[in-house]
């Protein structure tokens, strides 16, 4: 992560419905932990930092009515019929959002659900209170969107065996209205079945090779990532079954050191060589509002990576050198050096991931929802930092890096254009 800074929060950094891949063997309940406490498994754990206030139910094509301040109108329309992550729809679609922004959301009419509903949650009351009450039907498909809140996943027993839960991860990075509108649409345009096929194909290929090459021709970088059954291989794709939960937008695969949250930096990902960082960076923070300004300043420095590549050199999953390829990237390099000086653990690679969602385009700003960006053939991304052990968790995309197996078959990244035959 869920960038990767998976911590106890939905961060968009790999926290979702996890399926552990033992390189061809699928175990049903991968566990991701935070300081020894289970965070997510196939039917994840945790709770939300907010709580239910109002639940209004509607049926058939009826749409909810929110109290409107002045002449304002809802900014965001949620279309239950387009939320295919839930697979075959249940009886009820339940939208949960924060009470102070509820009037900005409305549900569109539809035909797939017999009932649609809206619930609001106040700060300080957990999501468990909604899920554990009569206000949330036992078999509801629940979509949680709280633009300004940290959201934690519920315990499996609280979620229940019949509900399915999808959460848009906000809070660890700012989410603007423009970003919210874009990603709500992206969620509705995402095909979970197609993502499942892409993830299965990728994991099948990874299970058949001892390592992958990571190369970027323009910068001349080359690295190897050793494939190991000792990692926790996680999938974030596919339709949900009852009792499961996932982030939205979905679409990703990743590897993390086994027991990461229990053993800290003692276990490493086997990445050796040089790799190019290029694309929108993400700077996640913990639930500490005091560092918001510092987070913004750090992201401003790193945002040069969108256009100016920076090269990392790693040995045994540890950054040993960082350098800019052009003057525009020197600020980003300086910011990384400042982080390393403050805390050497920022040098340790915490996640190796591949974004798979072809619908997404990287949006401006520091936006955790960018992480599942997969372009047309998958995009490699790397995660450093581990909140709350580090103040920030960083996700870097490698948009011009090609990932190939030991035999040279392309598994992710830009596919070279084929040259036409000469006339």
Q: In the prediction, which pLDDT does 418 show?
A: 58
* DSSP assignments along 320-349, one per residue: EEEEESSGGGHHHHHHHHHHHHH-GGGGBE
Could you tell me if 148 and 230 lie in one domain? no
Is the same domain home to 334 and 320? yes
Structural domain that includes position 170: 26-31+41-191
Strand 231-236: give its sheet, edge to edge: 231-236, 252-257, 349-355, 379-384, 392-398, 282-285
Q: What per-residue confidence (pLDDT) applies to 236?
A: 87
Return the minimum-mean-pLDDT range out of 24-38, 129-143, 349-363: 24-38
As a whole number of angstroms, the distance between CA 92 and CA 117 comes to 7
pLDDT of residue 38: 27
**Does residue 16 sit within a domain?**
no
Structure tokens at 200: 């299965």
Mean pLDDT lowest for which of 3-12, 240-249, 399-408? Answer: 3-12
**Best CA proximity match to 278, nearest among 248, 239, 308:** 308
Task: Tell me what pLDDT residue 319 has.
Answer: 98
Both 296 and 309 in one domain: the answer is yes
pTM for this predicted structure: 0.83
Range scoring the smallest mean pLDDT among 231-235, 263-267, 299-303? 263-267
Of the chain, the percentage scoring pLDDT greater than 70 comes to 79
Instruction: Tell me if 374 is assigned to some domain.
Output: yes
- Kindly state the average pLDDT of the residues 220-232: 94
Q: How far apart are CA 396 and CA 352, in angstroms?
A: 10
What's the confidence (pLDDT) of residue 261? 61
How sure is the predictor about 36, in pLDDT bands with cuts at 50, 70 and 90?
A: very low
> What average pLDDT does the segment 359-381 reach?
97
201 with 138, same domain: the answer is no
Residue 168 lies in a domain: yes
User: What is d(CA 106, CA 120) in angstroms, rounded to the nearest whole number?
Assistant: 12
154, 173, 191 - which closes a domain: 191
Kindly state whether residues 80 and 118 are assigned to the same domain: yes
Given a cut of 90, whether residue 41 has pLDDT beyond it is: no
Which residue has better confidence, 171 or 183?
183
The closest of 166, 143, 181, 190 to 367, measured between CA atoms, is: 181
Do you find a cis peptide bond into 136, omega within 30 degrees of 0?
Answer: no
Residue 147 is assigned to a structural domain of this protein: yes
The tally of domains found in the chain comes to 2
Helix, strand or coil, per DSSP, at residue 55: strand
How many percent of the chain have pLDDT more than 90? 67
- Token pair listed for 55: 């639940």
* 297-307 average pLDDT score: 98
Asked whether residue 185 falls in the same domain as residue 202, the answer is no
pLDDT higher than 50, residue 52: no
239 with 205, same domain?
Answer: yes
Q: Please indicate, yes or no, whether residues 129 and 230 belong to a single structural domain of this protein.
A: no
Do 186 and 199 fall into the same domain? no
Q: Which residues pair with 9 in a beta bridge?
A: none
Q: Return the biggest CA–CA distance within the chain.
A: 72
Look up residue 362 and give its DSSP letter: P
In a domain, 277, yes or no: yes
Please check whether residue 420 lies inside any domain of the structure.
no
* pLDDT at residue 203, rounded to an integer: 95
Last-in-domain residue among 191, 209, 231 = 191
Q: What mean pLDDT is predicted for residues 54-81?
A: 53
In this structure, the answer to whether residues 178 and 83 fall within a common structural domain is: yes
| Confidence at 75, pLDDT banded by 50, 70, 90 | confident
> Around 132, how many Cα atoms within 13 Å sit in the side-chain half-sphere?
13
Provide φ and ψ at 96, rounded to 5°. Answer: -115, 125
Spatial CA neighbour of 282 closest among 379, 358, 410: 379
- Pairing between β-strand 76-78 and β-strand 105-107 as defined by DSSP bridges: parallel
**Which of 143-147, 151-155, 164-168, 186-190 is the least confident region?**
151-155
Please identify, among 191, 213, 229, the residue that sits at the C-terminal boundary of a domain: 191
Please tell me whether residues 54 and 159 are part of one structural domain: yes
Residue 19, domain member (yes or no): no
Which whole number is the average pLDDT over 326-355? 97
pLDDT of residue 419: 52
3-class SS shares of the chain: helix, strand, coil, % to 5: 25, 30, 45
For residue 4, being part of any structural domain is answered with no
> Does 176 lie in the same domain as 265?
no
């Amino acid at each position: 992560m869920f960038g990767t800074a998976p911590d106890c929060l939905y961060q968009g950094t790999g926290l979702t419905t996890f399926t552990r891949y033992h390189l061809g063997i699928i175990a049903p309940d991968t566990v991701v932990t935070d300081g020894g406490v289970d965070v997510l498994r196939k039917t994840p754990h945790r709770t939300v930092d907010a709580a239910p206030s109002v639940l209004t139910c509607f049926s058939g094509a009826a749409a909810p009515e929110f109290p409107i301040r002045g002449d304002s109108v809802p900014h965001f329309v949620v279309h239950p019929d387009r939320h295919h992550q839930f697979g075959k729809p249940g009886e009820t679609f339940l939208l949960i959002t924060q009470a102070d922004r509820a009037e900005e959301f409305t549900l569109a009419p539809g035909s797939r659900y017999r009932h649609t509903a809206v619930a609001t949650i106040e700060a300080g009351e957990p999501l468990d209170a909604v899920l554990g009450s009569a206000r949330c039907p036992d078999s509801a498909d629940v979509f949680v969107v709280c633009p300004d809140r940290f959201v934690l996943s519920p315990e499996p027993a609280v979620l229940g065996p019949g509900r399915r839960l999808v959460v848009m991860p906000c809070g660890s990075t700012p989410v603007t209205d423009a970003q919210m509108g874009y990603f709500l649409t992206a969620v509705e345009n995402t095909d979970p079945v197609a993502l499942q096929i892409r993830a299965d194909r990728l994991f099948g290929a990874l299970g058949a090779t001892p390592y992958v090459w990571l190369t970027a021709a323009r910068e001349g970088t080359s690295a190897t990532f050793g494939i190991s059954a000792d990692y926790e291989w996680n999938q974030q794709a596919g339709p949900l079954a009852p009792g499961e939960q996932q982030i939205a937008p979905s679409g990703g695969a990743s590897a993390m050191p086994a027991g990461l949250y229990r053993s800290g930096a003692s276990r490493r990902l086997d990445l050796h060589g040089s790799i190019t960082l290029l694309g929108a960076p993400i700077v996640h923070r913990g639930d500490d509002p005091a560092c918001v300004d510092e987070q913004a300043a750090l992201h401003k420095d790193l945002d040069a990576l969108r256009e100016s590549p920076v090269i990392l050199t790693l040995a045994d999953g540890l950054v040993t050198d960082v350098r800019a390829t052009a003057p525009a990237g020197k600020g980003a390099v300086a910011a990384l050096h400042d982080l390393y000086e403050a805390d050497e653990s920022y040098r340790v690679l915490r996640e190796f991931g591949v974004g798979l969602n072809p619908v997404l385009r990287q949006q401006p700003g520091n936006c955790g929802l960018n992480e599942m960006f997969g372009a047309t053939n998958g995009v490699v991304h790397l995660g450093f930092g581990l909140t709350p052990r580090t103040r920030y968790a960083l996700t870097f995309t490698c948009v011009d890096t090609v990932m190939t197996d030991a035999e040279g078959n392309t598994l992710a990244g830009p596919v070279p254009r084929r040259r036409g035959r000469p006339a």
